[in-house]
């Protein structure tokens, strides 16, 4: 076998291992995402309640200010009533006092309702916060374990890529870039041994002239049907799964 082919086969072997680690890493993404989603939901619940309290508190303050204003007005009306000497003046002042008292009573009952609602919202907020904190500590172990696996795989991947890079340096750059393009497109193996007289990847039979170049000259050629790189193994061993096993050359 030509040294170039040996080198490229070694690169391909590393690439197979790298793809396996990448697939393992990718499998962790949905688990992390689902932990993140649960955390986000708990956080959103807290935020929704918190901003509802903020809005309700603002309404409470406005009503409180209105009540203060109305109470002052009411006190002025009471003073007017106290000073009213004539019956007509007194009747008018009395009507005003009565009206203001009713309005104030309504507003104060509304304010009390708001205070009660705010209290309930505050309790809900505390419950949501407690739930979020509980979820956080519940997730801590799962996250740590997933992260440890991810870190370990990423370290393995970095090592494998470094080793692969060293081996790739020994392959002709043109051949390597053709190989890389095909492997990237297929997300899989790019270099196949011919199987008998056919492509090892797609089983299309190889024209005689190309077959000779592969087998006699030991060249690397492209399969016209599926586009993978082909080579002839010098010592054609039976392919696993074939019924020719046991007839090793």
Binding site for Zn ion (CB under 5 A): 199, 201-202, 223, 225-226
Q: Are 132 and 43 in contact (CB under 8 A)?
A: yes
Query: Shortest gap between Cβ of 1 and Zn ion (angstroms)?
Result: 20
Query: Shortest gap between Cβ of 221 and Zn ion (angstroms)?
Result: 11
Query: Shortest gap between Cβ of 186 and Zn ion (angstroms)?
Result: 11
Question: Cα separations (Å) of 123 from 53, 69, 170?
Answer: 11, 31, 68
- Strand residues in 185-242 grouped as ranges (E): 191-193, 221-222, 229-231
Question: Cα separations (Å) of 128 from 57, 124, 135, 183, 225?
Answer: 19, 6, 10, 50, 61
Taking the least distance from each CB to Zn ion, the nearer of 8 and 182 is: 182
Taking the least distance from each CB to Zn ion, the nearer of 41 and 186 is: 186
Taking the least distance from each CB to Zn ion, the nearer of 161 and 195 is: 195
Q: How far apart are CA 193 and CA 12, in angstroms?
A: 12
Q: How far apart are CA 60 and CA 68, in angstroms?
A: 12
Taking the least distance from each CB to Zn ion, the nearer of 73 and 195 is: 195
Query: Shortest gap between Cβ of 31 and Zn ion (angstroms)?
Result: 37
Query: Shortest gap between Cβ of 42 and Zn ion (angstroms)?
Result: 53
Q: How far apart are CA 195 and CA 202, in angstroms?
A: 10
Taking the least distance from each CB to Zn ion, the nearer of 65 and 202 is: 202
Q: How far apart are CA 249 and CA 246, in angstroms?
A: 9
């Amino acid at each position: 076998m030509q040294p170039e082919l040996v080198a490229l086969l070694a690169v391909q072997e590393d690439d197979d291992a790298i793809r396996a680690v990448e697939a393992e890493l990718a499998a962790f993404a949905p688990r992390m995402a689902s932990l993140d989603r649960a955390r986000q939901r708990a956080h959103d619940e807290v935020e929704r309640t918190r901003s509802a309290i903020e809005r309700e508190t603002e309404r409470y303050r406005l009503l409180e200010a209105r009540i203060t204003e109305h109470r002052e007005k009411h006190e002025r009306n009471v003073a007017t009533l106290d000073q009213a000497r004539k019956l007509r003046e007194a009747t008018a002042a009395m009507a005003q006092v009565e009206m203001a008292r009713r309005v104030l009573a309504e507003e104060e009952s509304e304010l009390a309702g708001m205070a009660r609602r705010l209290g309930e919202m505050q309790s809900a907020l505390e419950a949501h916060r407690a739930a979020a904190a509980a979820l956080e500590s519940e997730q801590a172990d799962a996250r740590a374990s997933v992260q440890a696996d991810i870190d370990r795989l990423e370290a393995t991947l970095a090592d494998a890529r470094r080793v692969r890079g060293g081996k790739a340096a020994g392959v002709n750059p043109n051949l390597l870039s053709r190989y890389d393009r095909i492997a990237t497109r297929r997300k899989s193996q790019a270099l196949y041994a011919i199987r008998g007289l056919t492509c090892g990847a797609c089983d299309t039979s190889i024209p005689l002239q190309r077959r000779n170049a592969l087998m006699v000259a030991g060249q690397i050629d492209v399969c016209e049907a599926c586009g993978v790189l082909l080579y002839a193994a010098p010592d054609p061993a039976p392919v696993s799964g074939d019924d020719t096993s046991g007839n090793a050359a």
